[in-house]
Amino acid sequence: MTGEIPRTLQLLWEEPRRPAARGLSRERIVAAAVEIADSDGLGALSMSRLAERLGSAPMSLYRHVANKDELLTFMLDAAPGPPPELPPDGWRPALEVWARALRGVYYAHPWILQVTAGRPPLDPGQLSWLDSGLSAMDGTSLSHAQRFEVLMTVLNFVRGEAQIGAVLMSGEPEGDYAALIAHFVRPDRLPALAAASDAGVFTPGPDDAGDSFAFGLTRILDGVNVLLTE
């Protein structure tokens, strides 16, 4: 490779993971940062607030984390946790378990969607999830390139669903969005959208988000099955 490996990646890949120490440590700093981002959003995360949460002076944090960008990389590595244990009874249930677990990560940590937009993963935490997803297709007739494309299709579907779902859960109530659509969308201007609004598409019930996700994921996996049986 050309160029110097960033310090952050060197730390993540070359330093062994350690249990959280009682005193100030990178692990404690990252865990507190994840808590703030989860509860109040990424915009609420600052080094000064993080220091206050930890009962430390702001400058003390910089002995463990070089800057906020490095902190975000550490957070992306830690927040998802380990990938799920995949069932051994075939590629389809394995990919479904993987996709649902990833959806759970995005809903628990919606800020991940913001930080990772246009940012291919290089940290061991995220790459372990990609490795797990690819392993779901072990034993199939798909080439390595096809397996990767299948996984990217599933991953992008999960991201897209969570991007909307997580925002609706943490921001404006769903009913407000439905009311705005009903107010502005008229059949003479946007007839298909108006019909969808009249049918209640934008006022989902409590189980509709899960049903919508299941519908989309099933259609994708059906398509993969067709590819395997051609």
Residues 51-85: tens digit of each pLDDT: 999 999 989 999 999 999 999 999 999 999 999 99
Domain co-membership, 68 together with 100: no
Whether the predicted pLDDT of 211 surpasses 90: no
Contact, 189 vs 103, CB < 8 A? no
Domain co-membership, 225 together with 113: yes
Domain co-membership, 70 together with 96: no
DSSP classification of residue 230: -
Exposed/middle/buried for residue 107 (C-beta within 10 Å: 0-12, 13-18, 19+): middle
The answer to whether residue 186 sits within a structural domain is yes
Domain co-membership, 48 together with 148: no
Q: Which of 78, 111, 128 is at the close of a domain?
A: 78
The distance from CA 175 to its chain's CA centroid, rounded to whole angstroms, is: 25
Confidence bin at 16 (pLDDT 50/70/90): low
Domain co-membership, 61 together with 28: yes
Residues 6+ apart with CB under 8 A from 35: 53
**Residue 14 is part of which domain span?**
7-78
Report the pLDDT averaged over residues 91-105. Answer: 97
The answer to whether residue 122 sits within a structural domain is yes
Cβ count within 10 A of residue 193: 16
Domain co-membership, 18 together with 50: yes
Contact, 74 vs 8, CB < 8 A? yes
Confidence bin at 194 (pLDDT 50/70/90): very high
Domain co-membership, 46 together with 121: no
Domain co-membership, 159 together with 53: no
This prediction's pTM: 0.87
The answer to whether residue 1 sits within a structural domain is no
Domain co-membership, 193 together with 125: yes
Secondary structure tally for the chain: helices H, strands E: 12, 0
Q: How far apart are CA 146 and CA 167, in angstroms?
A: 31
Count of structural domains within the chain: 2
Which SS3 state, helix, strand or coil, does residue 65 take? Answer: coil
Give the chain's mean pLDDT: 88
Q: Residue 165 sits in a domain of what CATH number?
A: 1.10.357.10
Cβ count within 10 A of residue 161: 19
Summarised one tens digit per residue, pLDDT across range 121-154 is: 889 999 999 999 999 999 999 999 999 999 999 9
The answer to whether residue 132 sits within a structural domain is yes
Domain co-membership, 101 together with 64: no
Q: How far apart are CA 161 and CA 188, in angstroms?
A: 29
Domain co-membership, 213 together with 110: yes
Q: Which of 52, 78, 104 is at the close of a domain?
A: 78
Summarised one tens digit per residue, pLDDT across range 144-183 is: 999 999 999 999 999 999 988 765 655 554 447 778 888 8
The answer to whether residue 29 sits within a structural domain is yes
Cβ count within 10 A of residue 226: 9
Q: Which of 78, 103, 130 is at the close of a domain?
A: 78
Q: How far apart are CA 54 and CA 28, in angstroms?
A: 8
Question: Which residue, among 8, 21, 15, 158, has the nearest Cα to 76 in the 3D structure?
Answer: 8
The answer to whether residue 123 sits within a structural domain is yes
Q: How far apart are CA 62 and CA 192, in angstroms?
A: 54
The distance from CA 32 to its chain's CA centroid, rounded to whole angstroms, is: 19
Domain co-membership, 121 together with 200: yes
The answer to whether residue 120 sits within a structural domain is yes
Q: Residue 62 sits in a domain of what CATH number?
A: 1.10.10.60
